[in-house]
A and B are shown apart, each in its own frame.
Chain A
Amino acid sequence: MSEDSRQLLEVTDLSSSFDTEAGELVAVDDVDFKVDRGRTLGIVGESGCGKSVSALSLIRLLPQPMGKVRSGEVWFDGRDLQKVDRDEMHEIRGNDISMIFQEPMTALNPVHTIGRQLTEAIHLHQDVSPEEALEQAIEMLKRVRIPAPEIRVGEYPHQLSGGMRQRVMIAMALINRPKLLIADEPTTALDVTVQAQILALIDELQQEMGMAVILITHDLGVIAENCDDVVVMYGGRVVEWTSTRELFANPLHAYTKGLLRSIPRLDRERKTKLPTIPGNVPSLQEMPSGCRFSTRSEVEHDDESIRTRPDFKEVSPGHWVETCPYCYEG
């Protein structure tokens, strides 16, 4: 396959902002990444780093009217999603690209049955009879391993457990066999044993259907076990982008290194001092225009690097990093 036909999504220079009382806040600032067909890209970062806003921007679901995409291109399967009209975008969403969210209870409609919500998604994108749609819905519930799907289709979201609801969300997202699934912290609200089930399920359905996945998470463990490539975000920017193996074996940016060091691990000696990243994530207004990590770095930055945005460069094949002279040793 040529490089072009393998590639499903290419995001270049994507910027998004919100209008707030404090003025325009740029939440995503010139972000680039790519996803190949059938692969899994992880986006990792702490709260407020712009990982969810990036995902919402690319499918044009930013909260209106405050949110807007300021610039950038989102090439998906030969089309620029920022240029297509609303009807075409409707067609793409739910059909070619689906999204699942952290809290399924807020994403599912509490007053409609599971069956009605699933068949609605089918009717929107396929021309089938109600009976056929219901059959497809039951079939899909079976595939996400919901016990007694014939009974569950007639039930309401509150009658299901958290793990079951997330399964319903996945069923709904995958019912039209999308090419890309965006999963925004799909397991954060779940227990570890249920998290393992859900991630295994996504992985299995991905193998079966050959879709690509963007997995947004704050958990580096989830990244290590489920992703092919990783984008590390901080303060609305991508600071590092490479394959998962490379990132864990050879992290280059000071923020990535700090994050990897500070996770509690089972093999670390107990009751020892954990390495930390000093300080807190500054608010968007307080972010420096240059190296965003400069306020928390252990190395003091000079004025030049605080003011001027460092280049985002490919420093070895497939390994991109923001080349602030204090956060990256080139």
Chain B
Amino acid sequence: MKPLLKIEDLKMHFPVKGGVFLRAMGACKAVDGVSLTVNEGETVGLVGESGCGKSTLAKATARLLDPTAGRIEFEGTDITHLRRRELNPVRREMQMIFQDPAESLNPRHSVRDIVEEPLVIQKRGSRAERGKRVAELLEKVGLSESAGNRYPFEFSGGQRQRIGIARALALNPKLILCDEPVSALDVSVQSQVLNLLMELQEDFGLAYLFIAHDLAVVKHVSDRVAIMYLGKIVELAGADEIYENPKHAYTKALISAIPVADPSLDRDRRLLEGDVPSPIDPPQGCAFGHRMGHPKWEASVGMDLALREVSPGHWVQPCPCCTDES
């Protein structure tokens, strides 16, 4: 497998200003040293609770934000510091789908204009050729050609997400960053959109970085899954492996918190205490061990917490408080 996207030790810090003169008081470490690879044609799921930095990671990867440190490599080229114009060819290959299609589609543009826009920006084909391509794309995502004349508000949530997908596909990208693409949809519509995404992957050999908080959804569509907690990845493994054999205490807690649609199961729940802590001045060492008040947490302060491979393809943060492996 060829690596398509390689993120190395990426950091995205935001200054927190306060006081009378709005001086920088500290930093919000939204993404704090993440390394992740997405191979061609592969789906990597990224799971974590709100505020863990998963959306920020996607935005920094698409270079909608300028990373504080680290390196992003796409198809072998370093894109970390490319300027706007230099990013144009990269954006052809890397597109994004957002959670709320109602907010990410311009309400004043017809569906045709929305789907055509990337082609116009990248100066692709004549007007007639673009029209043909738009019709083709709409059909591909399961909308009728006449949908092109209508406006986003005329569609339901699921259909709007299809429009967002058509727009992302317009330039034949190799990678689509999906930020919570089905979280706003009803169950019966959610599975339609997931099926569409899987179908398109098969047809076009797309790779996805699939961000969601719903583990069951992520497991279903992903080849590998990364679990993120407070700006860091704490565990990364094959999708089946991570559910069958979770190593990090946070992964275990997340899996145990999912409600299962089977009333005959009497489950042994481990309830987590407390909320996800703020990424502003996060605790030192293992953040999850700190939240749990684990007696061995102190030992993780100052340790090198880079992921370690515990079995082929299964990587875990080697802190003494959350894993038995170290």
Which of A's residues lie within 8 Å of B, judged by CB? 46-47, 161-164, 191-197, 199-200, 218-226, 244-245, 248-249, 258-260, 262-266, 268, 270-271, 273-278, 280-281
Contacts and interface: CB of A to CB of B under 8 A. Distances in A.
B15 to A, nearest CB: 21
Contacts of A248: 261-264
21 contacts: A192-B257, A192-B258, A193-B49, A195-B259, A196-B256, A196-B259, A196-B271, A218-B186, A221-B258, A224-B260, A225-B263, A258-B188, A264-B190, A264-B194, A271-B220, A271-B221, A274-B220, A276-B188, A276-B191, A276-B192, A278-B192
B254 interface: yes
A266 B191 contact: no
Contact of A273 (B195, B273, B276): B195
Given A248-B262, A264-B217, A193 B272 contact: yes
Contacts of B194: 264, 274
A192 B187 contact: no
A239 B187 CA distance: 17
Contacts of B156: 280-281
B213 A192 contact: yes
Contact of A195 (B253, B257, B276): B257
A259 B188 contact: yes
A218 B214 CA distance: 14
Interface size band for B: 35 or more
Interface in B35-94: 49-50
B269 interface: yes
Given A264-B194, A266-B260, 19 more contacts: A162-B50, A193-B253, A194-B275, A196-B257, A221-B258, A224-B261, A224-B262, A225-B263, A225-B267, A245-B263, A248-B264, A259-B188, A265-B216, A266-B216, A266-B219, A270-B219, A271-B220, A276-B191, A281-B186
Contacts of B95: none
Contacts of B215: 192, 266
B189 interface: yes
B272 A263 contact: no
A280 B271 contact: no
Contacts of A278: 192
B261 A223 contact: yes
Nearest to B256: A196
B216 A244 contact: no
A263 B158 contact: no
A85 B317 CA distance: 62
A73 B258 CA distance: 37
B239 interface: yes
Contacts of B220: 264, 268, 270-271, 274
B300 interface: no
Contacts of B258: 192, 221, 266
Contact of B272 (A164, A196, A221, A262): A196
B263 A273 contact: no
Contacts of B276: 191, 193-194
Contacts of A194: 49, 275-276
Nearest to A187: B259
> Counting chain A CB atoms within 10 Å of each CB, which of B220, B254, B269 scores highest?
B220
Given A200-B269, A264-B217, A270-B240, A225 B260 contact: yes
Interface in B96-151: none
A164 B262 CA distance: 29
Contact of A260 (B189, B261, B264): B261
A46 B187 contact: yes
B323 interface: no
A306 to B, nearest CB: 20
B243 interface: yes
Nearest to A282: B156
B313 to A, nearest CB: 15
Contacts of A162: 50, 275
A199 B257 CA distance: 11
B261 A191 contact: no
A197 B215 CA distance: 18
A164 to B, nearest CB: 7
Contacts of B239: 270
A44 to B, nearest CB: 10
Contacts of B262: 224, 248
Interface string B203-220: 000000000011111011
A260 B191 CA distance: 12
The 5 closest A-B pairs by CB, nearest first: A221-B259, A277-B188, A191-B49, A46-B186, A274-B191
Nearest to A274: B191
A220 B187 contact: yes
A327 to B, nearest CB: 14
A219 B217 CA distance: 13
A278 B191 CA distance: 10
A218 B189 CA distance: 12
A224 B195 contact: no
Nearest to B278: A161
B266 to A, nearest CB: 10
B113 to A, nearest CB: 23
